[in-house]
Structure 1
Amino acid sequence: MAGRLTWHRTSQSDEELREYLILALLRSRACVTFQDSELRYHYIANLPEIWNLPLGEPPVDSLIFGDALGGQLNELKRLARETGEQQKQEVQIENDKFFEFHIEAISSPDGKQQIMTTIVDMSEIRRREKVLKVLLREVSHRSKNLLAIIQSIASQTARNSTSLDQFLTKFRGRIFSLSQSQDLVTDSNWRGAYLHDLIRDQVARYQQNDKPAVNVSGPNILLSPNAALHIGLALHELMVNAVSASHAMAAGKTIGISCKITDDGNAELSWNEPADLSPDVPPLPREITPGSFGSTVLERVVPASVSGTSRYTVYDDGVEYVLSFPLSDENVSDEAR
């Protein structure tokens, strides 16, 4: 092993090499120790700060690492001497410090047996693994929620469709709406989606002649992933309903969407859709009718998903939808409160 790993110029002093090696050890967060066959320490470099060398007396494992860990290390070193095989053990100190011990018997140039121990600080790696596990669980949880929403959309759309073509048209539109909201959530590293961005994406497909189909006002709150997906679906249903049932947009009228923070600490999202009151234009049937999928989404599913309330009203001069929900951790980010 020495011939494979070691080479240096003969003019390089041992002292300089030792300094370079210690610097490399410091940067690698590794500690190296050497002991003879009687476990007397000859060399300790870069001992982690959590352990201290005893003052005024020769270092031994029990004094450096404590009786419990010192006893375990002594046993591992005995096994390394007797079997010639490397021994490895990871230990946890306190709650967030992890160290991996590699212990092996080696022969010195004069043929004497020595014990080399390498201690590697694994704390940062273990913290990253822990964060990764949490993120994977979160992704799994959100994926299951998303699949549940898609399953509900599919079954409700099928229940309210009279033909396969009608089902496919409505289902594709709703899945596309869901995917747009999901893209915003993903782009924000799963923090959520800003309300104005959510409205823009849900409305963009229905703009005519480059004119804005809606006028948006009020605070641009950052919705949670769950709130973004459901409110995005509500906006889609309202927009499809407006396009299919009203001549107002074709006549150049604009839908107003506003958000305000009420005195009781809720967010209130309002949709105000003007109607075309021209007597020459007969009214068209609406997508949202009592018992329809759109009605279920607006009046039951979305309010329940954000622990809020809603009101959907059709007037002679238009449509109003009001969704009120608390500014809680489940619905918005900290910066919105």
Structure 2
Amino acid sequence: MLGQKILRAIENTEMSVFAQDLDLRYAWVCNPGSSWLADANTGSSDSDILSEAAANRSTAMKREVLARGHAMRYEMSLVQGNQTRWYDICVDVDRDDSGTPCGIIGTSSDITDQKRREETLKTLLRELSHRSKNLLAIIQSLASQTARHSLTVPEFLVRFRGRIQSLSYSQDIVTDADWRGADLESLVTTQVERYAPDGMDQIDFRPVDAYLSPTASLHVGLALHELAVNAASYGSLSVPGGTVAIQARVERQDGEAVLVIIWQERGGPRVRPERDARFGTSTLERIVPNAVGGEARLEYLPEGIRYTLTIPEAQFELTQPQSRP
């Protein structure tokens, strides 16, 4: 009665139970379902239901169990239909009432979902490692650039902390989006708004529904940070009535879609044509465009700084269909 209840309970699981005689021919199978044991009939062997390689391995394991007299456990992968399924198999010596070995008793559990989760976790860990190395490379580059154009240690610390904080804000957006990237509107709001005395009222933003890749998100966030800090210190955000217009649009260039982001300051102090190396020109003109595989142009116009960044299609995706220019 107990045995019947146990077998009945097994029917509600992914586990199969089987028995084989000393010649490793199947005596019975309980709850085979759609597993590799579905075709195991009384008197059949592993070679009748498995591929040659799988049958040889399974038979070898079971003969070793009979020879050693103790249980063994192994995993087996099988191609079933158009997918690979994994099974956890445990076999032990079956004995009669006198304790004499009479065959093999075993269980088989479908662990395909577990294997897939493990593979997904490995992929995520590899991706995390890759992204962590990229982030460390960005930080190293920022440290070098900041140190090169800082006259004092306090100046270096202030500017470097600001850039690291910018990376942190962009990284938060990327993480919240499950590493998909960041939408341009969130980047602009996060990186620019806090530097405008009147908030987004001073920012004329014309966005597109675009998601930037994780790499592009971090670097565009850095560019926006550099522009916003400069505007708040010396440009249009440093005086009442000053504004910044940020325009984003998708264009076709050489048969490829590109995202063009334009930063234009207005209403601020008149801009001098000479460049200040401490203003993040290296970040804006070299580091950011190189990182995204695009192009950038920084212009010192009398009415205000103008920055144009072109991002290739590989670094963004549109969340809504856009009409082609």
Q: TM-score, normalised by structure 2?
A: 0.86
Which 10-residue stretch deviates more, 167-176 or 257-266? Answer: 257-266
1:262 is paired with a residue whose SS is: strand
Q: Distance in 1 between matches of 2:237 and 2:318?
A: 38
1:91 is paired with a residue whose SS is: strand
Measure how far apart 1:231 and its partner are.
0.5
Gaps (5+ residues) in structure 2? Answer: none
Q: Which residue of 2 aligns with 1:79?
A: 64
Alignment partner of 1:160 is 2:152 = no
Q: 2:306 aligns with which of 313, 320, 330?
A: 320
Give the 5 Å matches for 1:17-36: 17=5, 20-24=8-12, 27=13, 29-36=14-21
Q: 2:168 aligns with which of 179, 185, 194?
A: 179
- Percent identity over the alignment is 35
Contact 1:157 1:293 in 2 (8 A): no
Q: Go from structure 1 to structure 2 and tell me whether the alpha carbon gap of 1:109 and 1:207 turns closer, same or farther (over 3 Å shift).
A: farther
Q: 2:130 aligns with which of 125, 141, 148?
A: 141
Q: 2:285 aligns with which of 289, 299, 310?
A: 299
Measure how far apart 1:210 and its partner are.
5.0
Contact 1:62 1:70 in 2 (8 A): yes
Q: What one-letter code is carried by the residue in structure 1 that aligns with 2:91? A: I
Q: 1:266 aligns with which of 258, 261, 278?
A: 258
2:316 is paired with a residue whose SS is: coil
Give the 5 Å matches for 1:75-154: 75-94=60-79, 96-109=84-97, 111-113=99-101, 114-154=103-143
Q: Which residue of 2 aligns with 1:7?
A: none
Q: Distance in 1 between matches of 2:85 and 2:296?
A: 50
Q: Distance in 2 between matches of 1:211 and 1:50?
A: 63
Q: Which residue of 2 aligns with 1:204?
A: 193
Q: Which residue of 1 aligns with 2:317?
A: 333
Alignment partner of 1:235 is 2:221 = no
Q: What one-letter code is carried by the residue in structure 2 that aligns with 1:273? A: E
Measure how far apart 1:180 and its partner are.
0.4
Q: TM-score, normalised by structure 1?
A: 0.83
Q: Which residue of 2 aligns with 1:4?
A: none
Q: Distance in 2 between matches of 1:293 and 1:240?
A: 9
Deviation readout 1:91-139 (Å, 9 max, x if unpaired) = 2223732223211114345645341121222222222222211111111
Q: Which residue of 1 aligns with 2:46?
A: 61
Measure how far apart 1:54 and its partner are.
6.0
Measure how far apart 1:170 and its partner are.
0.4
Q: Go from structure 1 to structure 2 and tell me whether the alpha carbon gap of 1:267 and 1:334 turns closer, same or farther (over 3 Å shift).
A: closer
Measure how far apart 1:237 and its partner are.
0.5
Contact 2:193 2:199 in 1 (8 A): no
Gaps (5+ residues) in structure 1? Answer: 1-11, 278-282
Which 10-residue stretch deviates more, 108-117 or 265-274? Answer: 108-117
Deviation readout 1:159-182 (Å, 9 max, x if unpaired) = 101111100000000100011001
Contact 1:87 1:102 in 2 (8 A): yes
Q: Which structure: greater strand fraction?
A: 2
Larger Rg: 1
Measure how far apart 1:299 and its partner are.
1.0
1:271 is paired with a residue whose SS is: strand
